[in-house]
């Protein structure tokens, strides 16, 4: 029961709230670039033989390939040039501590280096956030330019106890899923973003490789450069044949020569000379046999494929971190128009500088992803905004469900599902085929009327003949989307149009209870009579996983949420939820029991009680346990009911309760 989707695998709303302010979403503060064609922006850092930045290049000095095919560079700018249309006065950087692979002294060394980095470079336009990962993601400080708050967040982090030999496959998978969520959350922030990862490194076993690819893919989609930092350092061994070794107990016998920065021909930070044990890295030396397959190898891979560099095998962390700070404004922006490709497909990028004596670092891929608010500013979007703000119900009836799932402390993802009649879709015949579309706008309003979350979408249906149209219109149409939001009480409004004269409007409360990650919690409930074997998400070009809605998977089965929650008493129906238990990674994980009741909605009379059901937790990822139980409808008379689910653990009897309504036909 290994779950590919776990906590922090999706975008994090707290990041957006921090940079846009007053409850707006990140998209509200992002400059809108109006263009006739799609544009892919690639940032490139160029250095010379002395690792100094090269600032006098022109577009003619660059060559760029997508999937091996040369591309024409149609736009070109220097990052700090205020005249370029993608210039942002704010820059975003995450300081991330992977305490699951670092012992106490190494954690302290990394945090002290981070404090110096923040105090030397914080303030003004550099917005920083502080996070750590032990058994789950913890947010110490959301984005701010207040160096005092950032310093306090770093120093107040309690040192986690790392078990010898820690960092196994499940821990590594949880870390990578958390990092993927952070990278994905940065996608709507303008410009190039950075993630400074303090870690002791980890090995990628075959079962964990897809999680690594998903993380790197998220970085490339969101334009996030990763700078791994190994704070363990090196010490003299007294053996001239093996002059230096790691300080940490994680790999106490691994040795490397002075000044060696890592495997292969990586682009990393160069120190003050090959004879200096404090050298951050060597530019092109190859690693000895002892380093091959080591836990730090993956750090160089992550850095290379995301456009960052690794700071490893050094006692001078400040040297590398100073260069990280410099790179916030030391890069070129190359733009090109890609060929049409399938939505969600990912493509390999390669950048080269033709001037001799230079080296270039850039992300290695991009994905053709769905825009979060593609209708914003368009005539269709303005029409939907007016309908959302109005009171007219429309002439198309629809039902809406808004189950939520926690993705991090004080962060939730809402899996929206709407059901409307297929007959509401207006089809037009164009060149022998039938075309229809639905435009959707959803807005969650806080109590003071500010926007807490927003999305828009267009779904197109292209059918070959009249028979297909007839079949489509005689079935309900299921629409699904998801958005991120902080816990709170909201008024959610959604409007949709399916033709010139057909539209609908739905309004529903959305209540998400606070969640700090320290106690047992339960997600919203999903009811479904549609489930099937979960197919592995296909690998796209460039080694990245394509974007899609987050699947609800348990025991190898994917649960498809119902938009109407109307079922026949004879139908096979399931109830899906997620349990969040912070104690699962302990020496003696608690036992989790689930039970549910079916109550008649009007009278409250109990019609069914499942009794306690023990849920297996050994394969839980990042303290998230997916649960699917059969919803027993046999014998229920037609009417309205409520299912009330409870989760309880065996340690202290903590419990959490959720409920959802449904109809039996």
Task: Provide, rounded to the nearest whole percent, the portion of the chain with pLDDT above 90.
Answer: 41
**First-to-last CA distance in the chain?**
33
User: At residue 533, does pLDDT exceed 90?
Assistant: no
User: Could you say which DSSP state residue 572 is in?
Assistant: -
Model confidence at 271, in pLDDT bands (50, 70, 90)?
A: very low
- Beta strand segments in 211-357, E: 224-229, 234-239, 242-246, 332-336, 346-353
The number of angstroms, rounded, from the C-alpha of 223 to the middle of its chain's C-alpha atoms is 13
Q: Report, as an integer, the average pLDDT of 347-373.
A: 85
Q: How many CA atoms lie within 13 A of 636 on its CB side?
A: 30
- Token pair recorded at residue 632: 């027993």
CATH number of the domain located at residue range(s) 517-665 in this protein: 2.60.40.3880
User: At residue 19, does pLDDT exceed 80?
Assistant: no
| Beta-bridge partner residues of 643 | 598, 660
Model confidence at 321, in pLDDT bands (50, 70, 90)?
A: very high
Where is mean pLDDT largest: 164-168, 370-374, 425-429?
425-429
CATH 3.90.230.10 fits 371-514, yes or no: no
User: At residue 546, does pLDDT exceed 50?
Assistant: no
Model confidence at 477, in pLDDT bands (50, 70, 90)?
A: very high
CA dist 318 and 452 (Å) reads: 39
The number of angstroms, rounded, from the C-alpha of 611 to the middle of its chain's C-alpha atoms is 36
Q: What is the pLDDT of residue 411?
A: 82
Q: What is the pLDDT of residue 143?
A: 85
Where is mean pLDDT largest: 1-5, 159-163, 600-604?
600-604
Q: Report, as an integer, the average pLDDT of 130-139.
A: 83
Asked whether this chain's domains 371-514 and 517-665 adopt the same fold, the reply is yes
The verdict on pTM exceeding 0.85 is no
Please name the residue ranges forming H helices in 12-165: 13-20, 26-29, 104-121, 147-155
Q: What is the pLDDT of residue 569?
A: 93
Q: What is the pLDDT of residue 195?
A: 96
Q: For residues 556 and 31, which has the higher predicted lDDT (pLDDT)? A: 556
User: At residue 83, does pLDDT exceed 70?
Assistant: no
The torsion of the CA quartet 395, 399, 405, 407, rounded to 10 degrees, works out to -20
- Token pair recorded at residue 352: 């080269």
**Domain locations along the chain:** 40-79+343-369, 92-329, 371-514, 517-665
Where is mean pLDDT largest: 139-153, 160-174, 395-409, 594-608?
594-608
Q: For residues 285 and 549, which has the higher predicted lDDT (pLDDT)? A: 549
In 80-111, which positions are buried (b, 16+ CB within 10 angstroms) versus exposed (e)? eeeeeebbbeebbbbbbbbbbbbbeebbebbb
User: At residue 12, does pLDDT exceed 70?
Assistant: no
Closest CA to 481 of 416, 406, 551: 416
Model confidence at 622, in pLDDT bands (50, 70, 90)?
A: low
Q: For residues 532 and 565, which has the higher predicted lDDT (pLDDT)? A: 565
CA dist 85 and 33 (Å) reads: 8
CATH 1.10.287.130 fits 92-329, yes or no: no
Q: Is 116:318 a contact under the CB 8 Å cutoff?
A: yes
Q: For residues 549 and 309, which has the higher predicted lDDT (pLDDT)? A: 309
Angle between helices 147-155 and 104-121 (to 10 degrees): 180
């Amino acid at each position: 029961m290994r779950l590919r989707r776990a906590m922090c695998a999706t975008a994090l709303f707290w990041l957006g709230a921090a940079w846009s302010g007053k409850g707006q979403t990140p998209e509200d503060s992002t400059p809108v670039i109006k263009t006739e064609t799609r544009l892919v922006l690639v940032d490139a850092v160029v250095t010379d033989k002395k690792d100094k930045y090269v600032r006098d290049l022109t577009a003619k000095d660059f060559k760029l390939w997508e999937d091996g095919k040369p591309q024409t560079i149609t736009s070109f700018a220097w990052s700090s040039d205020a005249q370029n249309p993608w210039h942002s006065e704010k820059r975003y950087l995450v300081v991330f501590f992977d305490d699951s692979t670092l012992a106490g002294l190494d954690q302290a060394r990394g945090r002290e280096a981070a404090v110096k980095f923040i105090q030397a470079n914080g303030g003004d336009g550099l917005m920083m956030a502080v996070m750590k990962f032990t058994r789950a993601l913890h947010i110490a400080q959301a984005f701010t330019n207040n160096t005092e708050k950032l310093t306090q967040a770093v120093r107040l982090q309690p040192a986690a106890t790392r078990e010898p030999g820690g960092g196994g496959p499940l821990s590594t998978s949880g870390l990578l899923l958390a990092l993927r969520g952070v990278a994905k959350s940065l996608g709507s922030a303008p410009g190039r973003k950075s993630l400074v990862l303090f870690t002791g490194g980890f090995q990628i076993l075959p079962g964990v490789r897809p999680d690594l690819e998903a993380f790197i893919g998220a970085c490339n989609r969101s334009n996030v450069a990763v700078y791994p930092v190994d704070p363990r350092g090196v010490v003299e061994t007294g053996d001239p044949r093996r002059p230096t070794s790691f300080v940490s107990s994680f790999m106490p016998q691994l040795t490397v020569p002075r000044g060696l920065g890592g495997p292969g021909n990586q682009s990393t930070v160069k120190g003050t000379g090959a004879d200096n044990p404090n050298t951050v890295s060597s530019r092109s030396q190859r690693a000895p046999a002892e380093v091959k397959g080591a836990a730090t190898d993956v750090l160089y891979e992550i850095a290379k494929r995301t456009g960052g560099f690794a700071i490893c095998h050094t006692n001078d962390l400040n040297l590398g971190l100073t260069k990280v700070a410099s790179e916030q404004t030391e890069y070129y922006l190359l733009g090109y128009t890609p060929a049409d490709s399938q939505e969600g497909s990912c493509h390999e990028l390669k950048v080269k500088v033709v001037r001799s004596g230079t080296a270039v670092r850039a992300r290695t891929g991009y994905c053709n992803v769905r825009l979060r608010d593609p209708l914003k500013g368009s005539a269709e979007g303005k029409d939907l905004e007016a309908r959302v703000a109005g009171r007219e119900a429309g002439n198309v009836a629809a039902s809406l469900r808004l189950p939520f799932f926690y993705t991090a402390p004080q962060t939730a993802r809402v899996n929206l599902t709407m059901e409307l009649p297929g007959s509401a879709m207006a089809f037009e015949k164009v060149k022998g085929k039938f075309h229809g579309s639905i435009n959707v706008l959803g807005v969650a309003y806080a109590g003071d009327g500010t926007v807490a979350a927003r999305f828009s979408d267009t779904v197109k249906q292209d059918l070959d003949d009249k028979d297909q149209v007839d079949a489509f219109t005689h079935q309900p149409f299921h629409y699904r989307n998801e958005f991120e939001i902080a816990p709170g009480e909201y008024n959610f409004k959604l409007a949709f149009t399916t033709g010139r004269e057909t539209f609908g409007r739905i309004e529903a409360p959305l209540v998400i209870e606070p969640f700090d990650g320290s106690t047992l919690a339960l997600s919203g409930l999903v009811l479904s009579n549609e489930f099937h074997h979960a197919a592995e998400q296909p690998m796209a070009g460039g080694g990245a996983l394509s974007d899609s809605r987050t699947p609800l998977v348990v025991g190898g089965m994917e649960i498809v949420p119902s938009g109407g929650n109307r079922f026949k008493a004879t139908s096979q129906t399931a109830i899906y939820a997620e349990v969040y238990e912070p104690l699962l990674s302990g020496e003696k994980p608690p036992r989790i029991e689930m039970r549910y009741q079916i109550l008649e909605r009007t009278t409250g009379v109990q019609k069914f009680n499942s009794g306690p059901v023990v849920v297996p937790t050994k394969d839980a990822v990042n303290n998230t346990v997916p649960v699917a139980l059969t919803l027993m409808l046999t014998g229920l008379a037609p009417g309205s009911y409520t299912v009330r689910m409870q989760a309880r653990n065996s340690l202290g009897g903590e419990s959490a309760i959720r409920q959802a309504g449904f109809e039996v036909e």
